[in-house]
Amino acid sequence: MVCGAKTLDDGHIVTMAPKLIQNDLSWMKNIPELANVEHRFICEIPDCVSNPCLNEGTCKETFIGFECICPENFYGATCSCPIFYTVDVGTTRQYTFPGLAVTPAMTSVDFEVSANNDAHIGLSRSNEKDVGYMYEMAIGGWENTGGAIRRLTNVIEWDSIYRNQPATLALTGKPSYDHYRISFADGHIILYRYGNDIPLMEYIDPDPQQVNYVGIWTGFGSDGYWKFPSFCV
């Protein structure tokens, strides 16, 4: 379908874009005798005219709307979501706090991480570098053979530790992303694979700590990339 041009209210001239009519009878494709019925289109103002892609994303027109091609450090439908990078800090447990504040209504967080081993996520009272009193989850630890949940009293000591080393806690490795969900209501800390209700690790704190911020770090030979859809709108 070829569309013509239109002059917008601001004087700009744009080439109209063919858009699929939402009630285009596509359900007929499931009926053999009607399988060859063509989709119906209408010429409309291109969606990319409004510049919907943020953070220098590139807008691509589609038949049903638009698609944003994001730069390497952003993702999401409009490239609004940042990808956080953590360097390899070795064994020093140097947390990065990228401003992920947990609201009172939040009882879980989902995240994606791309690392070869030793990806650590902390649920903390504060967002200070020298943080204490927090829950830490290690994924892909012990040379990518397992993981652990710790309740830290400071950055180098812990009150208690729950260690688990099944193969399900091994990271896939870069450039792939592993998708998880952590729930933390009332000190009941559970790690899941995203979309799966079977716990990978679980820890119940008899003295629940407040969770206000999320911190991250990678080490022991691996850096990492992180996505936090729960904090992205």
Whether residues 69 and 89 share a domain: the answer is: no
Whether residues 88 and 65 share a domain: the answer is: no
Whether residues 70 and 91 share a domain: the answer is: no
* pLDDT in the model for residue 37: 53
Task: Compute the distance between CA of residue 66 and CA of residue 205 in angstroms, rounded to an integer.
Answer: 47
* pLDDT in the model for residue 189: 94
**62 Cβ neighbours under 8 A, 6+ residues apart:** none
* Residue-level length of the chain: 233
- Separation in Å, CA 114 to CA 23, 117, 129, 131, 210: 40, 9, 22, 24, 27
Whether residues 39 and 140 share a domain: the answer is: no
Looking up tokens 């770090």 gives 217
Whether residues 104 and 211 share a domain: the answer is: yes
* pLDDT in the model for residue 212: 93
Determine how β-strand 74-75 pairs with β-strand 134-140: unpaired
Looking up tokens 């027109």 gives 61
Whether residues 10 and 118 share a domain: the answer is: no
Whether residues 191 and 91 share a domain: the answer is: yes
Determine how β-strand 213-218 pairs with β-strand 199-204: unpaired
**Residue-level pLDDT, tens digit, the chain, 233 residues:** 678 888 887 778 888 888 888 665 555 555 565 455 566 888 889 999 999 999 999 999 998 899 999 999 999 999 999 999 999 999 988 999 999 999 999 999 999 999 999 999 999 988 876 566 789 999 999 999 999 998 887 655 666 777 777 888 999 999 999 999 999 999 999 999 999 999 999 999 988 988 999 999 999 999 999 999 999 87
Whether residues 32 and 101 share a domain: the answer is: no
- State the burial class of residue 223 (Cβ atoms within 10 Å of its Cβ: 0-12, 13-18, 19+): middle
Last residue of a domain, one of 59, 75, 91: 75
Q: What is the pTM of this model?
A: 0.83
* pLDDT in the model for residue 34: 47
Q: How many domains does the chain have?
A: 2
Last residue of a domain, one of 75, 91, 120: 75
**39 Cβ neighbours under 8 A, 6+ residues apart:** 20, 21, 24, 26
Helix (H) or strand (E) holding 143: helix 141-144
Task: Compute the distance between CA of residue 52 and CA of residue 25 in angstroms, rounded to an integer.
Answer: 29
Could you tell me the residue range of the domain that residue 188 belongs to?
A: 83-231
Task: Compute the distance between CA of residue 139 and CA of residue 192 in angstroms, rounded to an integer.
Answer: 11
Whether residues 38 and 140 share a domain: the answer is: no
Last residue of a domain, one of 44, 75, 106: 75
Q: Torsions phi, psi of 153, nearest 5?
A: -95, -25
CATH assignment at residue 223? 2.60.120.200
Whether residues 31 and 11 share a domain: the answer is: yes
* pLDDT in the model for residue 101: 95
Whether residues 119 and 210 share a domain: the answer is: yes
Tokens of 48: 């990319």
Whether residues 91 and 205 share a domain: the answer is: yes
